[in-house]
Amino acid sequence: MNYIFSWIKYGIGMLFFKIQGWKCDIIPKEIGDKYVLIGFPHNTNMDAPFGIGFSFVNRIQSSPMIKKEWMFWPMSMVFKAMKVMPIDRTSSQNIVGQVAEEFSKRDKFIPVVFPEGTRKEVKKIKTGFWHIADQANVPIVFLYKDGQKKQLFILGHMFIGKSKNDDLIKIRDVYRKAGYEIPLEDI
């Protein structure tokens, strides 16, 4: 039954991209079933349907992180079914630790993070994704939404090194090569 449901979701995802006139890369299998997926740019709430379509096409159960303010009825029912992770941005809870701990509890886990957070004049990205990957000892996979080419690209992946700043520069360079500038004010 899961096999059939997987094909149905795949078909829905492919149909979504075809209707939108977009294409979607497939995540290489060698990356595995546990990683932090980061996406740039984050410039519209329509990024969510693209993310869902991406998950369906790739046959993965991702866990997008969203503002807890979006968890209202009836949307909360949909989001719970999609296994989203509501984030309380006003609290100083140990969100990084909570997400990193989920990796030890699950066979497959793919939290999705948009490090720009807000879409208002971002001066620097949020680096929680790096800390999650570091604590959980999992790779970071780079997703890029290219509006001009109408395609979601997988730009690669990396394991955490010894220096957060060095890793952020590497990530910035990967996205820069694709044509997108990540704001890294402190580096």
Model confidence pLDDT, tens digit, residues 5-42: 889 989 999 999 999 999 999 999 899 999 999 999 88
Model confidence pLDDT, tens digit, residues 45-56: 777 788 888 988
The average confidence (pLDDT) of the chain is 86
pTM listed for this prediction: 0.85
Whether 57 contacts 26, CB under 8 Å: yes
Going by C-alpha positions, the residue among 16, 12, 9, 117 that lies closest to residue 65 is: 117
When comparing pLDDT for 47 and 139, which is higher? 139
SS3 119: coil
Going by C-alpha positions, the residue among 26, 81, 80 that lies closest to residue 53 is: 26
- CA 12 vs CA 19, 47, 58: distances in Å: 10, 17, 12
Q: How far apart are CA 156 and CA 142, in angstroms?
A: 6
Mean pLDDT of 111-126: 74
How are beta strands 140-146 and 36-40 bridged, if at all? parallel
Please check the confidence at residue 3 and state whether its pLDDT lies above 60. Answer: yes
* The pLDDT value given to residue 1: 67
